[in-house]
Amino acid sequence: MNLIVDVGNTLVKFAVFQEDKLLEKQSVEISQFEELLKNIFDNYPKIRKSILSSVGNLPKEALLNLEKRCEVLVLNADLKFPFQNCYATPHTLGVDRMALVTASIKHYSHQNVLIIDAGSCITYDFVTKDNDYLGGAISPGIRLRYKSLHQLTANLPLLDTEVPKTIVGDTTAGAIHSGVVIGIIKEIDGVIDEYREKYPDLTVILTGGDSIFLSKQLKNSIFANSNFLLEGLNFILEYNTH
């Protein structure tokens, strides 16, 4: 039984896997790490190993507490991965992107795959049918765009995410929703179209916190999987401990 710990800037995601089956997942603020960790091991005493993926700042005491409970693998670029990493600066590649690429190999090996992760940022990662990871792109996510318009201008309000009624915003709020949401939809569809011109057999995966919101509006055919990152982390743990 495996424990997956994915540390972001403000939240920590926990997931428990029995082989390939996801049994439970929860998200909490980093300050609640210790409390939830105890609850998970109380509920799943058969957990024997864990993988830690961190793009945030996990307190050292929290890591030590995890290491007291089970074997811990810390995700980094020096681990074994089931793909050829052709990224020019592999040690600057985000650990979350490594996990997403790994998940694509597990589920879609020997296919041309574009993974789109719609979270705080929108990342695009491309893997060839030869399992070569070539790289991709990083773009501001939905909330980052709303916040930037508010924080970097004098008079624009901070709005909640909303599907615009029309592309022509006839109010300031309507114009912001159109610019942010329709802008992102057109960006994603445009990127997919660009890849499909070169790779007609392309498989597209959409994941991340905004994946459900966005998937309903895209014109391109995609597979939406909100657990793709967690599945990739679980596979990396198995790949490096067997």
Residues classed as catalytic: 96
- Tell me whether residue 13 is annotated as binding: yes
- Tell me whether residue 104 is annotated as binding: no
- Tell me whether residue 73 is annotated as binding: no
Report the DSSP beta bridge partners of residue 140: 121
- Tell me whether residue 117 is annotated as binding: yes
Please, how many CA atoms are within 13 Å of residue 182, restricted to the half-sphere of its CB? 12
- Tell me whether residue 76 is annotated as binding: no
Q: Cα separation of 216 and 193, whole Å?
A: 17
- Tell me whether residue 72 is annotated as binding: no
φ and ψ of 3, to 5 deg: -115, 125
Q: Which secondary structure element, helix H or strand E, spans residue 215, and what is its range?
A: helix 211-215
User: How long, in residues, is the chain?
Assistant: 242
Amino acid at 131: N
- Tell me whether residue 10 is annotated as binding: yes
- Tell me whether residue 68 is annotated as binding: no
Q: How far is residue 142 from each of residues 29, 165, 191, 223, measured CA to CA in Å?
A: 21, 17, 16, 20
- Tell me whether residue 96 is annotated as binding: yes
At 23, list the tokens.
């049994």
φ and ψ of 192, to 5 deg: -60, -45
Q: Which secondary structure element, helix H or strand E, spans residue 138, and what is its range?
A: strand 132-140
- Tell me whether residue 7 is annotated as binding: yes
- Tell me whether residue 9 is annotated as binding: yes
Burial 153-162 (b: 16+ CB within 10 A, else e): eeebeebeee
- Tell me whether residue 8 is annotated as binding: yes
Amino acid at 116: I
End-to-end CA distance of the chain: 13
Q: Which residues are part of a known binding site for K(+)?
A: 117
Residues flagged as binding site: 6-13, 87, 94-97, 117, 120, 172
Known binding residues for ATP are: 6-13, 120
List binding-site positions for substrate. 87, 94-97, 172
